[in-house]
Amino acid sequence: MNRRCISLCFVFLFTTSMIGQELPRGFDKDELSKMPEYLTEVSNYTPLHHRSQLPGEVRSMAEWEELQGLIISWVNSYKEIQAEIVKATIGQCRIIIVCTEKDAVKRYLTSKGIQDSDQIQYVVGKYNSVWVRDYGPNSVYSNDVDSLYFTDWIYNRPRYQDDTIARQLSKSLNLPLLETNSIPNDLVHTGGNYMSDGLGFAFSSLLVMNENGPNNSFGFSNHSEAEVDTIMKNYMGTKTYVKMKTLPYDEIHHIDMHMKILDEQNILVGRYNNNVADGAQINANVDYILSNFKNTFGKPFQIHYIPMPPAANGQYPNTNGDYRTYTNSVFVNKTIIVPFYEEKYDTIARRIYENLLPGYNVVGIDCNKIIPSLGAIHCITKEVGVLDPLMISVDQCAPFINVDLEHDRKVTAIVKNKSGIEAVWLYYSEDKEQSTWERIRMERGNNDYYTATLPKFDSIMFYYVEGIALSGKSISRPMTAPDGYFTTRAMVSSSSHNLDNATKVQIYPNPANAITCVDIQSSFTQKTKVYIYDASGKIVMTLYDGLELPVSQKLFFNAKSLTPGTYYLNIQKDNKCRIEKFVVIH
């Protein structure tokens, strides 16, 4: 490789070339055979500048944390999509455009009504493709919130210029670079196959072992799983590393094509019917997660579903349809950018995002042109964290709680800033529309954990956490507060108890997609109510409200009237209740 190709002009923002490269996200023709030579070459790169040594423990930034910039690599083939990304980003942070012809990009953006500003910066460099998610640098922090570093893996495509982008950005942004390209820390990896909660809990598909495990297909980076975990711990701060089976119809095996971590507790998962495309394996992977892992705070993950729509011709990936996905989205501070395809499906996707992420500006961008190349919005963007993060990670209350139990009402947050923390506040309200919120000062415990307990409430409670650093910096979680918030709902009342074990409840089919039966086996001698709540705690349907149910009662509802996602059936009788979870798919 001609190493002079990376001695280029650097500015804060990278733009990619205008020559219209259209390399797919997967392997192009003949690329697979070039991998052994490429991997040998990249392991012998001469550093552009002195490679940084590991600073001790590092923490990988979660995607919903505060950003100073969002990187794109400009290509003429997808300039319409990229212009829309620029438009959605500049109100939130800098857009960092990697390009070869800065003036040409500026002219095109101007033609789209996007004027040049300090929020748009260009870095002139060389690269091969648009897929900066996969080859771009990963933002990590030393000591959780101290110095910002870039971590760069070996790109899993034989594209030499793409693989040097992290070095170019490290130089132009004056950020130290950590690299995994030399033995014993050599690691082939890709950004689309990695997600983290910002606390050391990470997900990938088993592609990471197929490319790095013993006897892997590349003949390079031969590691045991324990060795891969160690490299990820040292360079990404990964403490728990979940690796799921690859999907048969996802050619690239990147998890961002079917899942999205929304926060420390909630995961959005693409939903096919079980007999369509990757539906069965996705369901098996979700079962694997829920059966074997708890989140960083020791609680089960909350799984929410979003449809995986068919291609324009009605076909799914198992019948040669495009791999349309809504999980391939990107957080940009208080905005989330989502791939869109057709209005009848997009409307549902928007509603799901708005329900799960209240307060966020949901921006949809037409991705029909790019999705045949096996990627969308997340695939062509990469986050750059801020230099001075105020980290807040919240251990949320369960969606439904027994308000009599103080433990159920306790909110815990990890709050850190390198200047120290002045105060942490828990804001709460039973009416999110009111202009003022009550607040409680959260008390500091061990290891930067802060706790406070919500007061008892009758029905639903909205809350958020604000952290204030000694430097004066402040931020909230959710970042969109008070327009955004977390939610918990009382099971029934302040004197609620579970229904006795003699009460049997069955919902079928589950997942539900049409007429659905709720089979209740019990004798209720007092007033009974049967409600359906959505994931935000809102009542969306009343199935029964009367004096008495017979010993055996079947109630029916049409799931087609509900947006796909997670729901809760709540049976209330006297001062007792029963809650059952079910899923709606279309």
Half-sphere exposure of residue 408, counting CA atoms within 13 Å on the CB side? 18
Q: What is the CA radius of gyration of the chain?
A: 25
Looking at the predicted structure, is the pLDDT value of residue 497 above 80? Answer: no
Half-sphere exposure of residue 385, counting CA atoms within 13 Å on the CB side? 28
Q: Mind listing the pLDDT tens digit for each residue in 293-311?
A: 999 999 999 999 999 999 9
| CATH (residue range 498-584) | 2.60.40.3080
Q: Mind listing the pLDDT tens digit for each residue in 269-296?
A: 999 988 999 999 999 999 999 999 999 9
- Return the pLDDT at 502: 62
Instruction: Share the mean pLDDT of the chain.
Output: 90
Place of tokens 């030499």: 160
Helix (H) / strand (E) containing 505: strand 504-508
Which of the two residues, 136 and 573, has the higher pLDDT score? 136
- Is domain 3-385 in CATH 3.40.50.1950, yes or no? no
**Chain-centre distance for alpha carbon 61:** 12
Looking at the predicted structure, is the pLDDT value of residue 494 above 50? Answer: no
Confidence of residue 392 (pLDDT cuts 50, 70, 90): very high
d(C-alpha 121, C-alpha 103), whole Å: 12
Cβ partners under 8 Å of residue 319, min gap 6: none
Looking at the predicted structure, is the pLDDT value of residue 493 above 60? Answer: no
- Domain segments of the chain: what residues? 3-385, 391-490, 498-584
Quick one: three-class SS letters along 262-316? CCCCEEEEEECCCCCCCHHHHHHHHHHHHHHCCCCCCCCCEEEEEECCCCCCCCC
Confidence of residue 30 (pLDDT cuts 50, 70, 90): confident
Q: Give percent above pLDDT 70 in the chain.
A: 91
Which of the two residues, 480 and 436, has the higher pLDDT score? 480
Half-sphere exposure of residue 543, counting CA atoms within 13 Å on the CB side? 23
- Mean pLDDT of the region 81-100: 98
CATH fold, domain 391-490, is: Immunoglobulin-like (2.60.40)
| Reported pTM | 0.86
Amino acid in position 169: L
Q: Mind listing the pLDDT tens digit for each residue in 231-281?
A: 999 999 999 999 999 999 999 999 999 999 999 999 999 999 889 999 999
Looking at the predicted structure, is the pLDDT value of residue 6 above 80? Answer: no
Using DSSP's 3-state secondary structure scheme, residue 347 falls into helix
Confidence of residue 549 (pLDDT cuts 50, 70, 90): low
Using DSSP's 3-state secondary structure scheme, residue 533 falls into strand
